[in-house]
Structure 1
Amino acid sequence: MTQSTELPPALPEGGLRVVALGGIGEVGRNMTVFEHAGRLLVVDCGVLFPEDDQPGVDLILPDFRAIEDRLDDIDAIVLTHGHEDHIGAVPFLLKLRPDVPVVGSRFTLALLAAKCKEHRQTPHLVEVKEGQRSAFGPFELEFFAVNHSIPDALAVAIRTSAGLVLHTGDIKLDQLPLDGRLTDLAGFSRLGDEGVDLFLVDSTNAEVPGFVVPEREIGPVLENVIRKADQRVIVACFASHVHRVQQVLDVAVQYKRKVAFVGRSMVRNMGIASDLGFLNVPDGLFVDLDEAMRMEEDEVLFVSTGSQGEPLSALSRMARGEHRQISIREGDTVILASSLIPGNENAVFNVVNGLAKLGATVVHQGNAKVHVSGHSPAGELLFLYNAVRPSNVMPVHGEWRHLRANAALAVATGVAEDHVVIAEDGVVVDLVDGKATVSGRVVVGHVYVDGLSVGDVGESTLSDRLVLGEGGFISISVAIDTTTGRPVSAPTISGRGFSDDPKALDQVVPLVEMELARTEAEGITDTHRVAQAVRRVVGRWVAETYRRRPMIVPTVIPV
């Protein structure tokens, strides 16, 4: 589909406008804004985690610029579930308007409240549950139970005078869920009878054929691995995957092992899940980490963060031999009970290799069935389309290949090709008179969080960091007479991250001196022009001599 590059016109009266400020064309930082009758509704507000070409970045936020002058028009933020890529940016939006209602299920709001507490915020939380209807401004919302890899996930139907919209959130159709909470296909079918004008559908696994494996099938695999272990067992998984942790706890009880949680987010999230009744914990099962370290090796099991190779996570520190309390020993068993998120491959395999080097037996998705996805593959998406029978479809939550695959499934079930809208971040889609069409585009970029700063690191800064990381840094300092341009001292050249050889840059010094003589002869006294001349000479010499491109920073001091 051709993506418009023009700003959208005013929304026609009675129409509904949809624009994603994150989450389409990428996997993460999901945020979709709906506009109707001059009011706004936000569905999800998550973060994206950085990749290798974004050094120093902690988080990537949705770009709020499109709505920052309309914050008072927001009637609510609706959260489909509690994963970071759906709730992680809410505190940053609340800093702009603290009183906006945040709507979600009990578990989702509990996770958000803990996150907001770290930001010293007290958000206005509105708890809802499946089957409930609530109105916020001109948006009438109805909530439906959906299956995902976290408890209490919801889909949301949005009714306005422009039509009926259904947003699945993240979804799968596990027919044997551990908590007995099925995706409400009957409810979706009822909406289909009513007439769904626009269907926003999770695209993550649209390329994957077939149907999802039930989560409960992971339990026997975990049981088999843990039964054979005669030393310590460490299970790493997502800190929000309550059902996966529940199966680990059940096996621990079966083999009389005590359980210790490792990692701040794991301790926090499982504490919340236990308090709210989503995690069943027998009395006396948990021990703290200090007590676990004093126990016999075959009497303890650790549940840890770090399944994605995050450098500061507990498991990564164990693999490097840097964890304060847990040292991996020959014969320990480590289970990575999670998926391999694209972009994290190198980090994860570095952890696996580090653990193996220390003598651990490492079980992961590549050699055992220790993970199932939380997203519907193609077979299940076909079920959804046939149940909902939408007039228009907008694939969400995925990269371009996922969006295209999802669009093809919609067409295969009878949705007209010109009624399937693939709209990446920033592309504006208007639903008017029952037809969804692209009407323009708003500016959407990446907003980087680096430490305590938000937004002051941009693409040019990241480019500089990449150059520094790949080629190192060469500094040239020289003082010149401001009247004649003559150097008053010999140039000083030094490098960092360029070479271990202290003489590596010696040969360029005469070239710099010759260039300074040339600029003096030509009567150049402007320090910027002299600096540029020095940079060119050093850059040319480094490229010809070493075939490298370090950052070159000349400093010309006027005297």
Structure 2
Amino acid sequence: MRGEIVEPPALQRGTLRIVPLGGLGEVGRNMTVFEIDGKLLIVDVGVLFPETEQPGVDLILPDFAPIRDRLDDVVGVVLTHGHEDHIGAVPYLLRLRRDIPLLGSGLTLALIEAKLQEHRIKPYTLTVKEGQVERLGPFELEFVAVNHSIPDALAVAIRTTAGTVLHTGDFKMDQLPLDDRLTDLRAFARLGEAGVDLFLADSTNADVPGFTPLERSIGPVLDEVIAKAPRRVIVASFSSHVHRVQQVLDAAYAHDRKVALIGRSMVRNMGIAAELGYLKVPGDVLIDAKRAATLPDDRIVYMSTGSQGEPMAVLSRMANLEHSIEIGEGDTVILASSLIPGNENAVYRVINGLTRLGANVVHKGNARVHVSGHASAGELMYAYNILKPKGAMPVHGEARHQVANAKIATETGVPEDRVIIADNGTVVDLKDGLATVTGQLDLGFVYVDGSSVGELTDADLKDRRILAEEGFISIFVALDPATGRVIVGPEIQARGFAEDDEVFDVVRPQILEALADAARNGARDLHSYSQVVRRTVGRWVNTKHRRRPMIIPVVVSA
């Protein structure tokens, strides 16, 4: 795992350098950079969604710093599939260089093109399919079909003069997928026969024993819940989960209900999926929200975003009575997705809110309304046994997932000294088929906060947390700098301090005395007096009230 920062050596010709800029030690913002002979290839450019200790943050991006000055050397970006944690940061990368070629499947590129249109960026794209081979500079890329919770996912084999790397993207081995598109184990076997020097495998479910349940097992459960629902049904899922939406459409159609898509991203993504033939819409089951409002409650299903408790997503606004669809007694809400680590509190807050409103909330904890899109330990073991890679570097997951993946690698015969548990910024060099760690870059979080990108710092977030948890106190004083004599004030205002204003009567004399002492000891500038006020109030509030609010002294010359 990540140790001290170590500057990697200059990259020798004929050596492949691999640097993950996101997606390791976390679930999100997946991005890996490959470099050989002066050229860069990028696999995925995703976002990470903020947690509660990052108030006000919209998105978290990979740290582009290591490649920011080398964008002209980038020969292309491979996008393994269309989920936000793999494509969401593409617009921010293309702001830096707009003509970087994007390679991906038809659905993946359609989703990113729609997103880029909102950013007013027209990308240069190349649609690829499983079995296709493309050469980009010193990289030969072969694309392999893999099964995931979104159609058209691809793994990519990267061949170079230094060796071959197989990057799975997100995958599982569903043997009865809804779209009949299996993970191509024959291609895995063929690649293994030719020799895979480093296997970068999805770790998300590596600590889950056995095999991930079939996607088809969800359909009957959704069908039963919708059949028994006395009033409206609201299903929340990821806005790109085409398979789940397909199952909801089929169940609604079977029980004479109409479906209305709610949420901008849900409407956009499903429109694209239907247009390209990935979503099969039975009959005239889809209607718009306005028409849905005119139907009887037992004839409608709403398909919405917000399964992760996102504050501004549709389901959260419903739970807070901030949406035009008002949840009531007898409504059924289905959360048809898994919990992303870190989102648990937000999701349970939404579940509690919906329950208080009288809804019957069905979720993964009380019914099989979701299965994972990631390979469990049994599937990973199959993959390792089929490939027989010379080395392994677990990707896509938190530390416990990476360690579990590494254990599977060694159990299936990968030598322990050839299994690399890396972190974001770990520099791995592959030469003559052997991968070694050669450095560690210092990477940070890049926050998107409204229209600003990268301007918000960890110190700013700390201030926000203090304001949210401890409140703030402002003190205004006008004084004579020469004598420290206060002419006006101290005027004290507080927010979020949960105390009556009279409580500050105790500290005002202390401020006056401290300012006078400072003047007798030679203080003459306003900054020195401000620091005296800050220390005096800080010591008092910490000692008497066991609080650490933000203290803002304003000292002016009278």
TM-score, scaled relative to structure 1: 0.98
Query: Shift of residue 506 of structure 1?
Result: 2.3
What letter is aligned with 1:534? V
| Residue 237 of structure 2 is aligned to residue 237 of structure 1 | yes
Counterpart of 1:70 in 2: which secondary structure? helix
Counterpart of 1:503 in 2: which secondary structure? helix
What is the rounded CA distance, in whole Å, between the counterparts of 1:287 and 1:262 in structure 2? 11
> For 1:477-510, what per-residue CA distance to the aligned partner results, in whole angstroms no more than 9, with x for missing partners?
1112233333222211110111252323221111
The equivalent residue for 1:160 is 160
Counterpart of 2:225 in 1: which secondary structure? helix
What is the rounded CA distance, in whole Å, between the counterparts of 2:545 and 2:129 in structure 1? 63
Counterpart of 2:292 in 1: which secondary structure? helix
Question: Contact conserved, 1:233 with 1:333, CA < 8 A, in 2?
Answer: yes
The equivalent residue for 1:487 is 486
What is the rounded CA distance, in whole Å, between the counterparts of 2:528 and 2:3 in structure 1? 43
Aligned length: 558
What letter is aligned with 1:462? L
Query: Shift of residue 90 of structure 1?
Result: 0.4
The equivalent residue for 2:214 is 214
What is the rounded CA distance, in whole Å, between the counterparts of 1:201 and 1:192 in structure 2? 14
Unaligned runs of 5+ in 1: none
What is the rounded CA distance, in whole Å, between the counterparts of 1:20 and 1:508 in structure 2? 53
Change beyond 3 A, Cα 1:402–1:35:
same
What is the rounded CA distance, in whole Å, between the counterparts of 1:385 and 1:321 in structure 2? 49
Q: Which residues in structure 2 correspond to 1:112-123 (within 5 Å)? A: 112-123=112-123
Query: Shift of residue 517 of structure 1?
Result: 1.5
> For 1:6-29, what per-residue CA distance to the aligned partner results, in whole angstroms no more than 9, with x for missing partners?
110011221100000111111100
Question: Contact conserved, 1:317 with 1:323, CA < 8 A, in 2?
Answer: yes
The equivalent residue for 1:194 is 194
The equivalent residue for 1:44 is 44
What is the rounded CA distance, in whole Å, between the counterparts of 2:23 and 2:557 in structure 1? 51
The equivalent residue for 1:33 is 33
RMSD across aligned positions (CA): 1.0
Counterpart of 2:503 in 1: which secondary structure? coil
> For 1:34-55, what per-residue CA distance to the aligned partner results, in whole angstroms no more than 9, with x for missing partners?
0011100000000001111111
> For 1:438-475, what per-residue CA distance to the aligned partner results, in whole angstroms no more than 9, with x for missing partners?
00122211000000001110111111111111100000
TM-score, scaled relative to structure 2: 0.99
The equivalent residue for 2:64 is 64
Counterpart of 1:143 in 2: which secondary structure? strand
The equivalent residue for 1:466 is 465
The equivalent residue for 1:320 is 320
List structure 1 runs of 4+ shifted beyond 6 angstroms: none
The equivalent residue for 2:431 is 432
The equivalent residue for 1:54 is 54
What is the rounded CA distance, in whole Å, between the counterparts of 1:503 and 1:31 in structure 2? 55
> For 1:148-168, what per-residue CA distance to the aligned partner results, in whole angstroms no more than 9, with x for missing partners?
111100000001111111000
Counterpart of 1:69 in 2: which secondary structure? helix
Counterpart of 1:21 in 2: which secondary structure? strand
Question: Contact conserved, 1:234 with 1:333, CA < 8 A, in 2?
Answer: yes
Deviates more, 1:510-519 or 1:212-221: 510-519
> For 1:331-352, what per-residue CA distance to the aligned partner results, in whole angstroms no more than 9, with x for missing partners?
1111111101111111111111
| Residue 367 of structure 2 is aligned to residue 332 of structure 1 | no
The equivalent residue for 2:257 is 257
What letter is aligned with 2:493? S
Unaligned runs of 5+ in 2: none
The equivalent residue for 2:415 is 416
What is the rounded CA distance, in whole Å, between the counterparts of 1:84 and 1:411 in structure 2? 31
Question: Contact conserved, 1:4 with 1:440, CA < 8 A, in 2?
Answer: no
What letter is aligned with 2:432? D
The equivalent residue for 1:356 is 355
What is the rounded CA distance, in whole Å, between the counterparts of 2:399 and 2:307 in structure 1? 26
Query: Shift of residue 205 of structure 1?
Result: 0.6
The equivalent residue for 1:303 is 303
Question: Contact conserved, 1:4 with 1:439, CA < 8 A, in 2?
Answer: no
Counterpart of 2:488 in 1: which secondary structure? coil
Query: Shift of residue 2 of structure 1?
Result: 6.9
Question: Contact conserved, 2:164 with 2:433, CA < 8 A, in 1?
Answer: no
Question: Contact conserved, 1:172 with 1:183, CA < 8 A, in 2?
Answer: yes
Deviates more, 1:4-13 or 1:169-178: 4-13
Question: Contact conserved, 1:484 with 1:523, CA < 8 A, in 2?
Answer: no
The equivalent residue for 2:537 is 538
Counterpart of 1:474 in 2: which secondary structure? strand
Question: Contact conserved, 1:79 with 1:104, CA < 8 A, in 2?
Answer: yes
Counterpart of 1:186 in 2: which secondary structure? helix
